[in-house]
Amino acid sequence: MSDCTANVASQDYADFIYRHSSASLDELADTLGTSCISYVNESYVIYHIPLKDALPLSIPNHSYESIPALFGLMDTTSMEASGILSTFRQPALGSNGEGVIVGLIDTGIDYQNPLFRNLDGTTRILGMWDQTAEGEGFELTGNRPFLFPFLYGKEYTDRDIDDALKSDAPFSIVPSTDTNGHGTFLAGIAAGRFEASMNFVGAAPACSLGIVKLKPAKEYLRRYYMIPDGVDAYQSNDIMMGITYLMLLARRHRMPLVICLGLGTNHGGHNGASPVGEVLNSLRSYLAVAAVCPAGNEAGLRHHYLGQVNGPVGGYSDYDEVELRVGEDDNGFAVELWANSPEIYTVGFVSPTGETIQRIPLSLNNETVITLSIEPTTIVVSYATALGFQSSYLASIRFISPIPGIWRIRVYPTITFTGMYHMWLPIEGFVSADTYFLQANPYTTIVAPGNADFPITVSTYNHMDGSLFIHSSRGYTRDGAIKPDLTAPGVDVYGPGISPVAGEYPMIRMTGSSVAAAHVTGAVANIYSKQYPAGIYPSIGSDLVKATLIRGANRNPNYTYPNREWGYGTLDLYDSFLSLRE
């Protein structure tokens, strides 16, 4: 175990992401000045220091990459439409997820629900890391010559959960609950066992489960990102550690793993080059591991602006004026401007009352704080030309206590070649519905980490009428990579809810791209289950799984594929299995 004795999950500690070069934990402790370090993979660690030593939080003080981004939940008869029930009706296919782990990183799970238990009453959950549980952390050993310290939360094994299920007071043994219901619903869609009393079956009803219950974002990060009260938010570093836990769980049991991540964020340059995206991309080197992510629900919310401005190389001339409507209920939010390096853009502002802030000159490793003279508004601007893991330019604009009305952001082409740039507001829920760009662009709205290359990224459609969900995020990525990959049912889908009454298991309906991602997660588990019988460790890579799903996808003859809305078509697992014969 690490020498760290601090309660790093407390509000008194700040969390940071650090990119390293295969250094040992002892060497990193000397570099970072702390022994409270968690290893993610060969490229990233998470370290923790007292909050008082970390404040004030800013990009110049800590770097954009090191401050954890905040992620939100991607939600606002489907099995038949996905071709999943058709595979169940064919005994020769023998595909129901058996021998595969479906790993969910979300809000937890109602482990007592019969959908997640075997017929004999035992649990289907092989391991569960509850990050919110009080404890001193735990340690797992991987197939490498070092230990993996998890400095917070608690792991519950299948034995722990079985003991709880046999008990008259299960929560005295495994005190883990899903108070939100999002994780339970996705687990049901991806992996729920057939239950006649509920008239329900999930996509991979015989698979095993690995669960990561994320802890809520710390208050200092909520304040930094100005997240409204009552809105669920989760830290990227906790998601990264969750991926590591699931990988080790799969190695412990020597089983294929399909990760379902039902969260997303507009934080980052929308080209996949984020810490969570990089960790997912690193999984490509492992066999029998796949990941599925939602595309997001951002297309119709007017949170993306695509700009074009002309100016000479080495100087600036005209500016592009971006009109941003700010609602009554916003206490603050951030706007991020991204462009391809080596282009550089600078900004100025005109407030709703007409007060003008002239172009803020480029000043690297510093932030400029502007306090308006008439309105009680503060604007903080930071420019960054070197972001470590990606070749991009960022202008971060933080509006603190902005007055409502039409703001104008003037974007000046300081050094340009294409003159093209993008701006994004935070995702739905992190900013009010009344704050949006007046001339928004619905494309390039795939949220992170779904805009990374490795995950199978899923858009949303209504399986009842075949229409695309109005808010389903659209591709491609900022670099032009093809995303989404597939489209699956995610509108008014029937699945398990949670209830405060013990022994009652209500069924509810939910809409959103995370629901669509859960369908594809189960489909991938079925492919692994079919291709590799129990006891034979699979050697199939994620790229082949993705290709199999794409080959079998349904495609409308009136559309050209791939496209920005539907990717390569809608999920059809039955036809995907048939394509394996070719």
> At residue 300, does pLDDT exceed 50?
yes
Q: What are phi and psi of 157, to 5 degrees?
A: -85, 175
Structure tokens at 461: 């459609």
pLDDT confidence bin for 231, thresholds 50/70/90? very high
Assess whether pLDDT exceeds 90 at residue 159: yes
Q: Which residue has the higher pLDDT, 155 or 315?
A: 155
Phi, psi of 411 (to 5 degrees): -105, 120
What is the percentage of the chain residues whose pLDDT exceeds 70? 90
DSSP 311-374: --TTS----EEEEEEE-TT-SEEEEEEEEETT-EEEEEEE-TT--EE------BT-EEEEE-SS
Helices 513-531 & 182-191, crossing angle to 10 degrees?
40
Whether 79 shows a pLDDT value over 60: the answer reads: no
Q: Is the pLDDT of residue 52 over 70?
A: yes
Contacts 24+ apart (CB under 8 A), 143-150: 143/251, 146/24, 146/25, 146/39, 147/1, 148/38, 148/39, 148/244, 148/248, 149/1, 149/2, 149/4, 149/25, 149/37, 149/38, 149/39, 150/38, 150/241, 150/245
Contact 203, 100 (CB under 8 A): no
Can you give the pLDDT at residue 582? 63
Determine the average pLDDT of the residues in 84-94: 51
Q: Over 90: is that where the pLDDT of 82 sits?
A: no
Distance between alpha carbon 406 and the CA centroid of its chain, in Å? 31
In this structure, the number of other CB atoms found within 10 A of the CB of residue 511 comes to 19
Q: What is the pLDDT of residue 74?
A: 81
Q: 73-299+447-579: what fold? A: Rossmann fold (3.40.50)
Ramachandran region of residue 458, left (φ > 0), alpha (ψ -120 to 50) or beta?
beta
Least confident window among 282-286, 299-303, 401-405 = 282-286
* Most confident listed range (29-33, 204-208, 360-364, 526-530): 204-208
* 270 φ/ψ sector (left φ>0, alpha ψ -120 to 50, else beta): left
Side-chain-side CA neighbours of 555 within 13 Å: the count stands at 15
CA–CA distance, 347 with 324 (Å, rounded to integer):
14
Half-sphere exposure of 557 (CA within 13 A, CB side): 0
Q: Does domain 303-437 have CATH number 2.60.120.1290?
A: yes
Q: Report how far residue 209's alpha carbon sits from residue 196's, in angstroms, rounded to the nearest whole number.
A: 21
Give the amino acid at 84.
I
When pLDDT is cut at 50, 70 and 90, the band that residue 204 belongs to is very high
Q: What is residue 194's predicted lDDT score, i.e. its pLDDT?
A: 87
Residue with the larger pLDDT of the pair 200 and 381: 381
Q: CA 508, 514, 519, 523 torsion: positive or negative?
A: negative
pTM assigned to the model: 0.94
Q: What is the mean pLDDT of the chain?
A: 89
Q: Report the run of H or E that residue 410 belongs to, with start and end.
A: strand 405-415
* pLDDT mean over 314-332: 85
Q: What is the pLDDT of residue 279?
A: 96
**What confidence category does residue 389 fall into, taking pLDDT thresholds of 50, 70 and 90?**
low
Domain ranges within the chain, ordered by starting residue: 13-70, 73-299+447-579, 303-437
Question: Is the pLDDT confidence value at 368 over 70?
Answer: yes
At a CB cut-off of 8 Å and minimum separation 6, what does 50 contact?
Answer: 12, 13, 14
DSSP lists the bridge partners of residue 458 as 294, 486
Residues 6+ apart with CB under 8 A from 161: 111, 123, 125, 128, 174
Residue 206 vs residue 81, higher pLDDT: 206
Q: What does the pLDDT average to over 281-294? A: 93
pLDDT band at residue 258 under the 50/70/90 scheme: very high
- What pLDDT sits at residue 281? 95
For residue 532, what pLDDT is reported? 59
145: confidence class by pLDDT, cuts 50, 70, 90: very low
Residue 195: per-residue pLDDT: 83
| Out of 9-18, 168-177, 306-315, 362-371, least confident range | 306-315
pLDDT at 329 (0 to 100) = 84
Return the pLDDT at 90.
54
SS3 140: strand
pLDDT of residue 390: 64
Tokens 């739905």 locate to 428
Please tell me which residue, 506 or 25, carries the higher pLDDT value. Answer: 506
- Average the pLDDT over 391-406 and give the result: 94
The dihedral through the CA atoms of 369, 374, 376, 379 has a sign that is negative
Of 371, 375, 370, 367, the C-alpha closest to 395 is 367
- Cα(191)–Cα(187) distance, rounded to whole angstroms? 6
pLDDT confidence of residue 77: 40
- For the ranges 77-86, 87-96, 206-215, the one whose mean pLDDT is highest: 206-215
Question: Which pLDDT belongs to residue 164?
Answer: 97
Q: What is the pLDDT of residues 406-421, one digit of tens each?
A: 999 999 998 888 999 9
What pLDDT does residue 200 have?
87
* Stronger pLDDT, 254 or 220, i.e. the higher one: 220
What is the rounded average pLDDT of the residues 470-489? Answer: 96
Lowest mean pLDDT among 82-91, 131-140, 306-315, 520-529: 82-91
pLDDT, tens digit, for every residue of 547-571? 999 999 999 999 999 999 999 999 9
d(CA 16, CA 47): 5
Distance from C-alpha of 86 to C-alpha of 292, rounded to nearest angstrom: 22
Judging by DSSP bridges, how do beta strands 456-462 and 467-468 pair with one another?
antiparallel
The pLDDT value recorded for residue 483 is: 98
